[in-house]
Structure 1
Amino acid sequence: MVKFYEMVERLYELDVKLSKLEWVQYTTGYDFGIEEAHEEINNFLKDEKNYSLVLEYMEKASGPVEKRKGEILYNEFKSYHLTKELNDLNFEIQKKTNELSKILNTFRFKIDGKEVSGVDIDCILSREDDRELRKKAFFAKNQIDKPMVDNGFIDLINLRNEYAGMYGEKDFMEYRIKSDELSPNIFDTWEDDLKEHIIVLNEKGREYARKFIGSEELMPWDYSYIKSKISSSLNSHVDMSNYYNVLREFFLNFGFDINKFNITYDIFPRKNKSEWGYNFPIKYGEDSRILANVKNQYREYEVLLHETGHGIHSFMLNPEEIILNMGISGIIEEGIADLFEEFLYDKMFYEKFFTNSVEKEFEEIHEYDKISHLRFVGNIFFDHELYKNDLKSLDDIYNLYFKVYSKLYNDKPYNQKPPFGFRIHYTTHPIYMHNYFMGDVTCSMLKKVFYRKYGVDSISKKPKEFGNFLFEQVIKPSGLYKYEELFEKISGEKFSLKWYF
């Protein structure tokens, strides 16, 4: 057992090393050995002596906790002990993913020949009254599509499908779902379950289009603008230099003091820095890092609340339980982050910036966000479909994009090319985006269960109790159970999209 736990510690050290290297690449654009770090982990997982320790542990495991630990580690190691070809292919996938992520993280869009950041584009999309300029900004995002495909994006998809086939699965989508310990048919009813709600979404979209832009049709370059028209306060100027104190005071409401946690923030844009928002849980209980890109607007606290939720989660876990922490579902992680993100519209958070005069507009925008977020399901289905179709060219990807969105939302294809490659998840975190929406469903379930248990209609009425509820019911047992098991344990029912509404 001593050798077994020494082996686990060593594997964790290698993961920590890789996470630190990825942090550097995402914040500076420099790669100081990510490929080599991947290879070091691969070689460790391929080592027969290490694998035999896992098998021996599984054989001797007696209680449910030990058996779960054995299951988690076995899932981590088993694919490295099937064939050499599978291992070689896995390393090739990692190498290609790293190559493309470097392109994504350092790429900058241009509008009328002038370089603009993703933050600048978001500002245009949310604040610019000129609809044509918003449209131009939206389509500027497709500038990354061709470089991604020219440098092997479709090859990466094919490599992943080839890997899944060698592993014995139909395609990479099915491989990932099973790897994430989800039921293989968990998405089968989504389209039918969402139909009536998408009808409401489209009707609401037309209503807002008529009201705010004098049109019968809401287009993708209008969504952020409509949000700003519903709630102009979202774009209010705030001094982000005080962000840390704002966040600390807010999270103290729940009994979480981020001063006690070693969370590093890197929140302002610069050249060669990734334009997305991330949390890097470098080492549970010791080191968590947050990357964001803000420009002194209130709405940008949304990403800081979300990522700080991740950071707090990583520090609330028992750092000694290395194996169980490896088994935490990405859906649970995103659900906890989503919980705190939603406080952007809650008085407990916004009272630092506004008077009660914003209450009605924040209530309306929160309701609009809830229904409009159903558009995100299109990204999830498109992500899945990339691995279910034989793609040969960039045009094949565009045609697939329109097919997915036409079927789901009855969207009409537009003349210009739909941006997709800018969304880094398709490259670095494939078949992951469902975690966000399922995280929202989980977030909604947790709130309803808490309301019922404590006889309240808002978390803000008993925030300390909610902090304790979150720790005891979700964070503490989150590695011990597969996602659907934990969902049912907390809610008393099987996972269903009905919890979202």
Structure 2
Amino acid sequence: MTLELFLQEQNEMMKRLHIDRAESSWMSSTTGEEKWNKKTAEAQTAMNVYFSNKERFEKVQAYLAEEIENPLHKRELESMYANMVRNQLPEAELREMVELSTELVGVFNTFRATLDGKEVSENDIRQILIKSNDLEQRECAWHASKQIGREVEEKLLSLVRKRNETARQLGYEDFHQMSFELQELDRDYVFNTFTKLKELSDEPFRQLKQEMDEELVERFNIGIDDIRPWHYADPFFQEAPPSKELDLDPFYEGKNLEELTAATFQSMGMDITDMLEKSDLYPRAKKNQHAFCSDLNREGDVRVLCNNTTSDYWSVTMLHEFGHAAYFKYIDSELPFGLRRPAHTLTTEAIAMLYGRMGKDPAWMQQFLGVDQNQVESLTPLINQSLRKQMLISARWIMTFAFFERELYKNPDQDLNSLWWKIVQDVQFVTPPENQNYPHWAAKIHFTLVPVYYQNYLLGELTTSQLERYIKENISDDLFTEKVGEYLVNEFFLPGARDHWNTKIEKATGEKLNPKHFVAQFVSVK
């Protein structure tokens, strides 16, 4: 069999398996029904078993050992190899991990915290932490947001141990190290970059947090040493709190988030109306409470799940998720199925973050929200400060998650609860609650749903800053033009996974990923 025929066969099979899994997963997330959880597990297991086939794996290895003239064929084989390595296990073990993971995701989809004897949603808790001045209510709401952690802890740790066990069978230190290698990420480089970024941002972040804490002291009439996690506006301190001088929510009154999002992309020559129609954007019982984007068939069926309320938070989320969606939609449809995807998770996160940042762009507020020019000009310093605050807070949060996850896989049997709060205190400067003997960390769905993924958010932010700098210096100072849209589509979206992610960034911006642009934009004190 020729290499070309072999790859054609594999692409046809991967397409069928991908669609089965994506459709089942979408139904599971939107309905919370057990039958779809089971179908998702079956579809994921079928895909893993396909990639576990030893004869197929040996063929891929043999082809890669040869001289391959067509670079696209080589890239396809490299992509297949990465998927196959992790699945070179007995079917029973693959099935066990998928079933455990799917069961946990099902718990996250349907779980609702209890507060004062009543079920509450994550939106409910978020509103209490943003708006309530009742300190007892805030503390209770924060603890309620972590109830899911106790619910999933035992099975999640079993899954972590199982992931490690299988990674070691395949010759890796642990699942974390394997995941980095198979994602084409240099783990030492990534964590050295994060450590350096932490050191560079320590003092700016300390100053920023001191200002925030002083506002909390004044608002709640407490001492600065009394501040605890529930005094912040987000359960994990990953979002900047609303500023008392800058409340953007009133600007959204009477606005339609779908129309705002569509208009933003339309200004750049991109049509997202087809994807809006297929999406599931509003909250209801048993539906996944988070937000994500799914490319169901890599042929145009792209959908977003949100839980919108009319607010700045969900407007930014819509822009973010449809950034993913636009990337998926405009990938070259002529590429082989296996490469008809973003170059890397971090590159699609970069585009999502580029659009998410627009919610804090004065020009966007004036053009799309219809805010008066004089009002925008008066708010611009506060908006810029708000975006910088958000970037520093989210960067420190991502580091916290990434540092902890590395240690989680290094030794899942250590005192993880104490470790969590040690890292939170060291990186986020947050004083732990008195009771640390609780799996607060496990309440974050990413440990279960997308393991060893979180570093890509910060790598994405670094890429976004590099992209913004390049666009403003070389394409247009006004983001909302078809010229910018053409650049993004042709240079970033269209190539799909044709190249290694860093080669792609270099081709699009003139240099490989360089953290200096993020540092100059948000860390350095001007």
Alignment TM-score, normalising by the size of structure 2: 0.86
Deviation at 1:212, TM superposition (A): 4.8
Q: Does 1:285 align with 2:303?
A: no
Structure 2 residue aligned with 1:466, among 468, 472, 484? 484
Aligned residue identity for 2:432? P
1:336 equivalent in structure 2:
351
Q: Does 1:430 align with 2:434?
A: no
2:360 equivalent in structure 1:
345
User: 5 Å matches for 1:285-434?
Assistant: 285-321=299-335, 322-326=337-341, 328-351=343-366, 352-353=368-369, 354-356=371-373, 357-358=375-376, 359-360=379-380, 361-376=382-397, 377-391=399-413, 396-416=415-435, 417=438, 419-434=440-455
1:177 equivalent in structure 2:
180
Q: Distance in 1 between matches of 2:500 and 2:264?
A: 31
Q: Residues 487 and 495 of structure 1 are in contact (CA less than 8 Å); yes or no, is this contact kept in structure 2?
A: yes
Aligned residue identity for 2:423? V
Q: Distance in 2 between matches of 1:2 and 1:55?
A: 16
**3-state SS of paired residue (1:289):** strand
2:229 equivalent in structure 1:
220
* Offset from partner CA, 1:215-266 (integer Å, 9 cap, x none): 5366433443872234543332746883322221111111101135575221
2:282 equivalent in structure 1:
268
Q: 1:83 to 1:130 in 2, by over 3 A?
A: closer
Aligned residue identity for 1:128? S
* Offset from partner CA, 1:284-306 (integer Å, 9 cap, x none): 23201111112222331111111
Q: Residues 285 and 317 of structure 1 are in contact (CA less than 8 Å); yes or no, is this contact kept in structure 2?
A: no
1:64 equivalent in structure 2:
71
Q: 1:311 to 1:339 in 2, by over 3 A?
A: same
Deviation at 1:271, TM superposition (A): 1.1
Aligned residue identity for 2:487? F
**3-state SS of paired residue (2:431):** coil
Q: Residues 295 and 301 of structure 2 are in contact (CA less than 8 Å); yes or no, is this contact kept in structure 1?
A: yes
Q: 1:67 to 1:292 in 2, by over 3 A?
A: same
Structure 1 residue aligned with 2:129, among 103, 114, 125? 125
Q: Distance in 1 between matches of 2:277 and 2:298?
A: 11
**3-state SS of paired residue (1:280):** strand
Aligned residue identity for 1:290? V
Q: Residues 284 and 318 of structure 1 are in contact (CA less than 8 Å); yes or no, is this contact kept in structure 2?
A: no
| Higher mean displacement: 414-423 or 378-387 | 414-423
In structure 2, stretches of 5+ residues that fail to align are 235-239, 520-526
User: 5 Å matches for 1:139-154?
Assistant: 139-150=143-154, 152-154=155-157
| Higher mean displacement: 346-355 or 270-279 | 346-355
Structure 1 residue aligned with 2:107, among 98, 103, 109? 103
Q: Distance in 1 between matches of 2:294 and 2:29?
A: 10
Structure 1 residue aligned with 2:40, among 34, 39, 54? 34
How many residues are aligned here? Answer: 491
1:112 equivalent in structure 2:
116
2:524 equivalent in structure 1:
none
Deviation at 1:399, TM superposition (A): 1.0
Alignment TM-score, normalising by the size of structure 1: 0.90
Q: Residues 275 and 303 of structure 2 are in contact (CA less than 8 Å); yes or no, is this contact kept in structure 1?
A: no
Q: Residues 276 and 304 of structure 2 are in contact (CA less than 8 Å); yes or no, is this contact kept in structure 1?
A: no
Deviation at 1:44, TM superposition (A): 2.4
User: 5 Å matches for 1:158-237?
Assistant: 158-189=161-192, 190-214=194-218, 215-216=223-224, 219-224=228-233, 227-230=241-244, 232-236=246-250
Q: Distance in 2 between matches of 1:21 and 1:420?
A: 28
Q: Residues 230 and 364 of structure 1 are in contact (CA less than 8 Å); yes or no, is this contact kept in structure 2?
A: no
Aligned-pair identity in percent equals 24
Aligned residue identity for 1:136? C
Q: Distance in 1 between matches of 2:198 and 2:495?
A: 30
Deviation at 1:95, TM superposition (A): 1.2
Q: 1:174 to 1:23 in 2, by over 3 A?
A: same
* Offset from partner CA, 1:154-209 (integer Å, 9 cap, x none): 10110111111111111111111001011131233222332231221122111122
Q: Distance in 1 between matches of 2:51 and 2:395?
A: 39
CA RMSD of aligned residues (A): 2.5
Q: Distance in 1 between matches of 2:212 and 2:196?
A: 25
Q: 1:113 to 1:207 in 2, by over 3 A?
A: same
Q: 1:122 to 1:252 in 2, by over 3 A?
A: same
In structure 1, stretches of 5+ residues that fail to align are none
**3-state SS of paired residue (2:270):** coil
Q: Does 1:76 align with 2:83?
A: yes
Q: Distance in 2 between matches of 1:162 and 1:3?
A: 32
Q: Distance in 1 between matches of 2:265 and 2:457?
A: 22
Q: Distance in 1 between matches of 2:162 and 2:279?
A: 35
